Structure 1
Amino acid sequence: MVTKKWYVHPVIAIGVIINIFVMAMALYWSKNQPALWRLLVEDGIVEWMQFLCFAMTSGLLAFLAVEQWQRTPKINLQLLAFVGLSLLVGLAALEEISWFQRILHIASPEYFMQNNRQGETNLHNLALGKGSLHKNILLKLIAIVGITHNIILPLVAMKRPGVRTFIEKLGGYLPPLLPSVIYVALVAVSHLAIDHPRKGELGEVFGAVHYMTTVFAAYFMGVGYGKRPVFEQAGDARRVSTLFVMLMVYLLFIAWILSAGAGAPQYIATHPGFGAEL
């Protein structure tokens, strides 16, 4: 039987560790702006980690949709939820890196040059009043949904288990409470303790890592999930969990390597003292 306790499950535990590690790096470099820019710069370590985690989560949800169809070949709420969330998270991944525009050196169309706050080909930075769609609407919506899904609903479900059952019937899941509290606390600390114009990227990467691990733990391992998981045999679940933990550490290294090829040169080109100050 797969364990339902998050703190003895390696997948969720490694997600918490990675987020704490990123927060520790930000705090350690908080007095060294060139180093902090290296972490948070466009196409830097944090942004690439977001993309990789969102892309992986989108793939996991797409896999769940296929698995659901193979088990029950009919359109139901759970199938629609998996397909819809996979597309939504995939969109978030592509938006995060502006649809590979900067990597491929593709010039923005005239519409985006005039209406995008950063002159990029993406939707979330489209001008909206004095701000952008991302800052004026999306961030507020993400905060409300995040607090509700990670804190309020799990607390309510502790006294009213029917809430969890109802959410699972709709195709959703509730993440374990303690890892969620750590995730929300890290977001709060990043906003209070880090003085940087791009400090919001930290909260986004914490969310990307948190959701990748809890999606995998719930739907694939059955952690805190009442329905039938993908891996029901303890041996299979243990081996897959070990591989997933290795993959997560690998993603962090890949994000670091990708940032060296994209984010760092961009920052060095506009900040001549970067190398010397590090």
Structure 2
Amino acid sequence: MNIFSKIEKIGYSLLLAIVLIGLYLGLRDHIYFDVNYAQEDGPVEWGTAIMLFAIFVLSLYHLLTLWNGKKILWKLGTFLFVILFLFAAGEEISWGQRIFGVESSEFFIENNAQGETNLHNLVVGEKKINKIIFSQLLFLVMFIYLIITPILFRKYKWFKDLANNFAVPIVKWHHTIAFVVATVLVALNPASRKWEVYELAFGAIFFLIFLGPLNREIFERKEPKQDVA
């Protein structure tokens, strides 16, 4: 068993435990779940931020260590992932606002649902951006990425080349199954803050995807070919 398989087993075991404990607490006492388990700045929210930051670190590591051996499109794709997951991790903890005791500006106090310095809780037309993105756009993106993309990658060479050129990690089927199982278990939870657990599942599974994708070779250094005399 290689190191990736061990990490995957540990990751899935921890994720299953977190989701099942959350489901048990939500069914037993949804108020306790909301106030303690999935509370603002609680263990679940911090777990999500750590997972997103870990993907940022992993992507940055790939970018720096493989820079000289990769083409411009690969560098561009990896750089975009670095920015994306750094932004996501920062947004999850409101860019450290509560940690450092920084007060929100007047704009965020008036337009943010929680009065915090972040974009995902901004209110547009009486709706939170987070709700619009998470319930509509993100669902579509996840469906395409977790189900459609692996099929296209396996079936069409042009799509495989496109994904590899831009350093897009392709999911394995066990990643997709894990997401479906997590979705069902979280949906069964009656607590109002159950989606905090779903965000943690999102972060954990995506970390496993970036750590050991189907096209793992995109994160390997290609050795120069030796001339045969």
Compute the TM-score of the two structures, normalised by the length of structure 1. 0.72
Task: For residue 106 of structure 1, give the secondary structure of its aligned residue in structure 2.
Answer: coil
Matched, 1:203 2:201: no
Choose from 9, 12, 15 the match for 1:19: 15
Q: How far apart, in 1, do the equivalents of 2:182 and 2:12 lie?
A: 10
Aligned twin of 1:225: 215
One-letter amino acid of the counterpart of residue 140, structure 2:
I
Matched, 1:194 2:189: yes
**Could you tell me how far apart the structure 2 residues matched to 1:101 and 1:187 are?**
30
| 1:215 maps to 2:228 | no
Q: Which amino acid aligns with 1:225?
A: N
Aligned to 1:245: none
SS in structure 2 of the partner of residue 9 of structure 1: helix
Residue 157 of structure 1, CA deviation: 3.3
Which whole-Å CA distance do the structure 1 matches of 2:171 and 2:65 have between them? 21
Query: 2: CA distance between counterparts of 1:168 and 1:41?
Result: 39
Change (3 A) 1:131 1:69: same
Q: Which residue of 2 aligns with 1:36?
A: 33
* Partners of 1:168 and 1:226 within 8 A in 2: no
Q: Would you say the 8 A contact 1:155–1:177 is kept in 2?
A: no
Q: Aligned partners of 1:226, 1:194: CA distance in 2, in Å?
A: 35
| 230 and 157 in structure 1: CA distance in 2 versus 1, 3 angstrom threshold | closer
Corresponding position of 1:81: 77
Letter matched to residue 52 of structure 1: I
Per-residue deviation, 1:161: 5.3
For 2:157 and 2:185, locate their aligned partners in 1 and report how far apart those are by CA, in whole Å. 31
- CA shift digits 1:4-24 (9 cap, x unpaired): xx9x82222222222211111
Instruction: Indicate how the Cα distance of structure 1 residues 188 and 128 shifts in structure 2: closer, same or farther if over 3 A, else same.
Output: farther
More displaced stretch, 154-163 vs 123-132 = 154-163
In the alignment, what sits opposite 1:68? 66
The superposition leaves residues 32-74 of structure 1 with CA deviations (integer Å, 9 ceiling, x where unpaired) of: 23441221100111100001111111011011111221324x6
Unaligned 5+ residue runs, structure 2? 223-229
CA deviation string 1:128-149 (max 9, x = no partner): 1121111113442221111111
| Residue among 106, 113, 118 paired with 2:114 | 118
Q: Taking structure 1 as reference, are residues 214 and 83 closer, same or farther at Cα in structure 2, changes over 3 Å only?
A: same
Per-residue deviation, 1:169: 1.8
Distance of 1:119 and 1:23 partners within structure 2: 29
Q: Give runs of ≥4 in structure 1 deviating > 6 Å.
A: none
Alignment equivalent of 2:137, drawn from 137, 141, 147: 141
Query: Any conservation in 1 of the 2:78–2:166 contact (CA below 8 Å)?
Result: no
- The alpha-carbon deviation at position 178 of structure 1 amounts to 2.1
8 Å Cα contact 1:164/1:173 also seen in 2: no
* Alpha-carbon distance in 1 for matches of 2:11, 2:133: 28
Unaligned runs of 5+ in 1: 219-223, 233-278
- Counterpart CA distance in 1 for 2:68 and 2:165 is 18
| Corresponding residue SS for 1:117 | coil
Matched-pair contact (CA < 8 Å) for 1:151–1:181: no
Contact 1:150 1:181 in 2 (8 A): no
Out of 155-164 and 98-107, give the one that drifted further: 155-164
How many residue pairs match? The answer is 220
